Structure 1
């Protein structure tokens, strides 16, 4: 019988359908993920994504016998659903207007010691989105029957079954208490406890796909749909079953998420934008984050990856990029990014690479991740000078590059057959290099950093 798993991968920038069989990528297709301006607020273009997935599933089903569907999505989106449709649009987390509720929301928000979730801008705290929807869109909110994470929205749309799941509730949402393994005090204080459906594991099948959808796209009516998982936690899954702690996975794309497995939570500091995410097994994981992909693009201004000679030219010039170029994420989100010194256009990618390596190194140090392997997964794994520079900054740790552009989706596919019975691909070791004057450049860069963001 076919074990082909279709993964619905909903990122901030793109949506993708990818098919896997025993960890092998068989087929994939992607499209841009759009944001609509509103009213009532900027929101995800859910219907365009739905049309894309239906068309892509129909196309894929002509060539492959799909046995299961798994959704995965970024952690800063959730859905208020009614009887048969969305009760309110799925808010875009970059909607800054949500902060109008902050004075009232702050009075209800759990302390960091409980939620392990720092105060973040815009709608990055999912609880703040909920508060805005309840207080500013009461007519829409009144029609809500459930609130679910974004992966679980897609599972609900395919099956009609609503479920809560910890990797999304525990992703800087303010809605989960990781040490206690239960919803945080915010859920009751905000009066939304009745909206959370029963808790299910990411690995749980919610049921077969609804018959009319199966018929529309040509899938077998018994095709199972799984609860789904937060995308960074999907990236982590292959390593949870193939490596011994301690180790750190840098999941890179629009965001760089540093997930430190086997590390104490005691050193986490909201001012650094360090936090605890919750893995698919319900365990809190010490994490840090910054918007590395977007910052890289802002600094580099286009072009490909640099070489080490370009990195050394930037260092020799004394030029440096200081945070923050995205306006969100990391210890310096409240500071305006600046480039000091003159950098040739051909070396802008080198400056961006050096910047992202320095921020990663800084956050690893503040997290206390001084031992164990570093596995770079996602976009930056294809930027060898980034991996080499990170290794040169942290010579006591080994750096590996997981050169797999489908890493998040591949991890998500595992939950349909957990634990996986097939071998997990081993990431490639990155050879150590010496980069002239890198230590002195890091010292100068660190001395020039602005004050960190405030948090609580």
Structure 2
């Protein structure tokens, strides 16, 4: 039976409404996501995003019956909610001003062995955002009844039901103890236990959509709203139900998230920005991350993919990109990126491609990944030379690419009928390809990187 699922997909760069029926994309609409400068601090432009979603729902409902709604959002955001509205704006995770509380916050942060969450800059640790709001915005904080992850904010706004969910609490937030499957000691240290609503699973229906939203958007009043999920974990869902461990998914966009299913957690090192995320079933997953999409854009001076043969030209030239170009993510976030050697303007995308493949390979090696399939999904799946370079760097693993720009939203849509009974589309294999001089280039790049302090 047909079931059309509407997904609210809130990324750092864009917001999207996408409709799916048994995994098939039916309709989508996208708009830029904005950050407002303040006051009281830089924050997500929630109201513009909300109005976009209402307008998009109305438009979609003219031609489709919407049977369920599922939200997914990036992990480094949470919402303090009051009786009926936000108690405080949703803080932008790139706001470095939160670091002013660091001496006090450092005393409360759980050790890495407990949270498996590295100490990240700005607001990338959600617990630091919460502490900042409590200590520096006490009047706003006092109005809060709940603190929820960003996907669950949208679920609450649609349904009126406030819940907690592990994929967001467990996404480098300092707020979750993955091995114990419970909130970390930080929750008690901050005295915010009362703000965390009951825990629900990502695939739990929370209730029907609010009547006024149903009427405004011309939806059936019984349309269910589901709990929702952290976006990288949404990308992982199709593979959790269609593949046997071990395997690794590279979820790519603004960030590259390396999710290594079946890998031991023992080699995780906070200095490398390797950590444990928590999947939709509550299981810790070894992960690494770097801001690959944004670094690519800086190195390439824009977007686009390299032309055939461009990677070999860069390798032959010896030109290299050395980390880090964004100040966020990966083993060398505190180092200032630089280009060594000369590279033609037309080959900047090839240099960026090599850089992102080398950083991915480096992080996988440090995490202890030696086998299992590698699946590239998201933006970099459309960059065949990236997938080929990754395959050449890691010949013991088969590389696949999911040429699906809607991968995150498609995964989230699965939550409305979990576990899915329909066929999951397989990613396409990437043919192995040797690149002349790549081994020597990697050795030289690794030697240069080894001189950079972590």
Return the TM-score normalized by structure 2: 0.99
Offset at 1:14?
A: 0.1
Could you give the per-residue CA deviations for residues 104-134 of structure 1, whole angstroms, max 9, x where no partner exists? 0000000000000000000000000000000
Take 1:268 and 1:452, find their aligned partners in 2: how far apart are those partners?
A: 20
Take 2:353 and 2:396, find their aligned partners in 1: how far apart are those partners?
A: 21
Give the secondary-structure state (helix, strand or coil) at the position aligned to 2:282: coil
Offset at 1:450?
A: 5.4
Give the secondary-structure state (helix, strand or coil) at the position aligned to 1:66: coil
Query: In 2, are the aligned partners of 1:331 and 1:452 still within 8 Å (CA)?
Result: no
Query: In 2, are the aligned partners of 1:272 and 1:452 still within 8 Å (CA)?
Result: no
**Residues 168-317 of structure 1 aligned to structure 2 (within 5 Å):** 168-317=168-317
Q: Which residue does the alignment assign to 1:416?
A: 416
Q: Does 1:348 align with 2:352?
A: no
Offset at 1:304?
A: 2.0
**Residues 364-443 of structure 1 aligned to structure 2 (within 5 Å):** 364-443=364-443
Q: Which residue does the alignment assign to 1:24?
A: 24
Query: In 2, are the aligned partners of 1:335 and 1:450 still within 8 Å (CA)?
Result: no
Query: In 1, are the aligned partners of 2:2 and 2:22 still within 8 Å (CA)?
Result: no
Q: Does 1:84 align with 2:84?
A: yes
Take 1:261 and 1:288, find their aligned partners in 2: how far apart are those partners?
A: 12
Offset at 1:2?
A: 4.2
Offset at 1:303?
A: 4.8
Take 2:450 and 2:435, find their aligned partners in 1: how far apart are those partners?
A: 25
Give the secondary-structure state (helix, strand or coil) at the position aligned to 1:225: strand
What 5-or-longer segments of structure 1 have no aligned partner? Answer: none
Take 2:452 and 2:178, find their aligned partners in 1: how far apart are those partners?
A: 25
Q: Does 1:59 align with 2:59?
A: yes
Change (3 A) 1:453 1:23: farther
Moved more, 267-276 or 1-10: 1-10
Give the secondary-structure state (helix, strand or coil) at the position aligned to 2:423: coil
Offset at 1:377?
A: 0.3
Give the secondary-structure state (helix, strand or coil) at the position aligned to 1:449: helix
Q: Which residue does the alignment assign to 1:322?
A: 322
Could you give the per-residue CA deviations for residues 417-454 of structure 1, whole angstroms, max 9, x where no partner exists? 00101100000000000100101000000111156675
Take 2:7 and 2:275, find their aligned partners in 1: how far apart are those partners?
A: 27
Q: Which residue does the alignment assign to 1:333?
A: 333
Return the TM-score normalized by structure 1: 0.99
Q: Which residue does the alignment assign to 1:362?
A: 362
Residue correspondences, number: 454
Give the secondary-structure state (helix, strand or coil) at the position aligned to 1:306: coil
Take 2:240 and 2:288, find their aligned partners in 1: how far apart are those partners?
A: 18
Offset at 1:370?
A: 1.0
Q: Which residue does the alignment assign to 2:50?
A: 50
Take 1:182 and 1:33, find their aligned partners in 2: how far apart are those partners?
A: 32
Query: In 2, are the aligned partners of 1:16 and 1:31 still within 8 Å (CA)?
Result: yes
Take 1:147 and 1:157, find their aligned partners in 2: how far apart are those partners?
A: 13
Q: Which residue does the alignment assign to 2:139?
A: 139
Change (3 A) 1:257 1:328: same
Could you give the per-residue CA deviations for residues 213-245 of structure 1, whole angstroms, max 9, x where no partner exists? 100110000000000000000000000000000
Give the secondary-structure state (helix, strand or coil) at the position aligned to 2:79: strand
Take 1:2 and 1:358, find their aligned partners in 2: how far apart are those partners?
A: 43
Take 1:213 and 1:323, find their aligned partners in 2: how far apart are those partners?
A: 47
Take 2:326 and 2:247, find their aligned partners in 1: how far apart are those partners?
A: 28
Change (3 A) 1:453 1:92: farther
Moved over 4 A (4+): 450-454
Give the secondary-structure state (helix, strand or coil) at the position aligned to 1:236: helix
Change (3 A) 1:453 1:82: farther
Change (3 A) 1:322 1:27: same
Change (3 A) 1:303 1:16: closer
Change (3 A) 1:348 1:134: same
Offset at 1:307?
A: 3.1
Offset at 1:302?
A: 2.2
Take 2:453 and 2:347, find their aligned partners in 1: how far apart are those partners?
A: 29
Alpha-carbon RMSD across the aligned residues, in angstroms, is: 0.9
Take 1:304 and 1:411, find their aligned partners in 2: how far apart are those partners?
A: 25
Take 2:244 and 2:206, find their aligned partners in 1: how far apart are those partners?
A: 31
Moved more, 300-309 or 332-341: 300-309
Query: In 2, are the aligned partners of 1:332 and 1:450 still within 8 Å (CA)?
Result: no
What 5-or-longer segments of structure 2 have no aligned partner? Answer: none
Offset at 1:369?
A: 1.1
Give the secondary-structure state (helix, strand or coil) at the position aligned to 2:309: helix
Q: Which residue does the alignment assign to 2:448?
A: 448
Change (3 A) 1:429 1:36: same
